[in-house]
Amino acid sequence: MSRSDEATTDRISANGQGLAPDEVLAVERLSTHFVYKNRTAKVIRDVSFRLKKGRTLAIVGESGSGKSVTSLSIMGLLSEPGRVVDGRILYRLSSGEAVDLTGASKRTMRRIRGREISMIFQEPMSSLNPLQTVGDQIAEMIWLHMATNRANARKRAVDLLRLVEIPGAERRIDDYPHHMSGGMRQRVMIAMALACDPSLLIADEPTTALDVTIQAQILDLMRRLQGELDMSILFITHDMGVVAEIADDVAVMYAGVAVEQAPVRRLFDAPNHPYTRGLLASIPEANRERDDKGQRVRLTAIPGTVPSLYDLPPGCPFETRCAWREEACLEPVSLEPCGPDHLSRCWKMRQA
């Protein structure tokens, strides 16, 4: 197949359908499995969500819920034995054309990654090359994806370091990653991600390894840059406090499925799914209630453990840990409306 044939195939696979004019990304019924030694781990099952231009969608859930695998599926970065087995990932290119990333050619994905969709990973020290200066790493991203020479790429790299508020950018551009603090390295990762003015930024737990002061600075920086660059953000985290700070909309994931989706304020004010309620109840608060002895009431913990993805329960995946479970919870339950722009995967709470 020629390059022109590959590009045509990508366009036909999306056919311009499935994306509203104001949407940049639509994940439809995505399923990703890992097959190992004749056993199948259903890491992502029937996940759907949409992201509008200029907005932030947070995907939240505990470890093992499938958040990061969702982002890797979108980026086409799954390693063996993982593979997308069903669903569509529709993305609107900067040209306005829609493409289904699950059927895109390798050449198309190389063009999209970094240029159209960029990603910030959780630990910058393991993502940055320790043998290259940060300036060389940012400049390499620019001249690989844009029609420019290395001198202009370096100048652009300095501008990007200024954009992410690294002081002395002209000097720090020649630093190696180990010369920088964790917060500075994360700013470098953001600069690299923004190097080619992407339409969509995927941030996979970008503040997890940082202390709370630096975390707040990084979140403020991302909010400011999003407003300046009119960029959409898919923000992956396990921290509901971070969700409240940065998100416009939220998708709560548990054991490979989305159990609740809503605008962020609605989700915090009126959570529907028992798992979401458990996550919110576990958020530390400075003014937490005190008992009769003046001691602060302990945080509420969700009992039990996440089920094995190799051996999932037949019905609701949260059934084994839910205080409201009934016999009907042993049957599969779908994600259905429970209010305006509010979806939940709990039949009992929807009827409450």
- Rounded distance, CA 4 to CA 215, Å? 45
DSSP 68-134: HHHHHHHHT-PPTTEEEEEEEEEEE-TTS-EEEGGG--HHHHHHHBTTTEEEE-S-HHHHS-TTS-H
CA-to-CA separations, 350 to 206, 263, 276, 330, in angstroms, rounded: 33, 17, 13, 17
When computed from its CA atoms, the radius of gyration of the chain, rounded to whole angstroms, is 21
- Rounded distance, CA 247 to CA 266, Å? 12
- Rounded distance, CA 79 to CA 298, Å? 41
> pLDDT at position 122, please?
76
CA neighbor of 305 nearest in space, from 289, 290, 287, 318: 318
DSSP 167-225: SSHHHHTT--GGGS-HHHHHHHHHHHHTTT--SEEEEESTTTTS-HHHHHHHHHHHHHH
- Rounded distance, CA 160 to CA 162, Å? 5
> pLDDT at position 17, please?
60
CA-to-CA separations, 174 to 12, 20, 87, 138, 196, in angstroms, rounded: 45, 44, 44, 11, 20
What does each of the 352 residues of the chain score in pLDDT, given as a tens digit? 333 344 444 443 444 468 999 999 999 999 999 998 889 999 999 999 999 999 999 999 988 899 999 999 999 999 889 999 999 999 999 888 999 999 898 888 988 998 899 999 877 777 889 999 999 999 988 888 887 888 899 999 999 999 999 999 999 999 999 999 988 999 999 999 999 889 999 999 988 878 888 889 999 999 999 999 999 999 999 999 899 999 999 999 999 999 999 999 999 999 999 999 999 988 777 666 665 666 666 777 888 889 999 999 989 999 999 988 899 899 999 999 998 899 999 988 766 5
Domain ranges of the chain: 265-285+296-351
> Which pTM does this prediction carry?
0.89
| Cβ atoms of residues 76 and 100 within 8 Å | no
> Tokens 């859930």 correspond to what residue?
61
Beta bridge partners of 236: 59, 204
The torsion of the CA quartet 168, 170, 172, 175, rounded to 10 degrees, works out to -160
pLDDT tens-place string over residues 178-228? 999 988 999 999 999 999 889 999 999 988 878 888 889 999 999 999 999
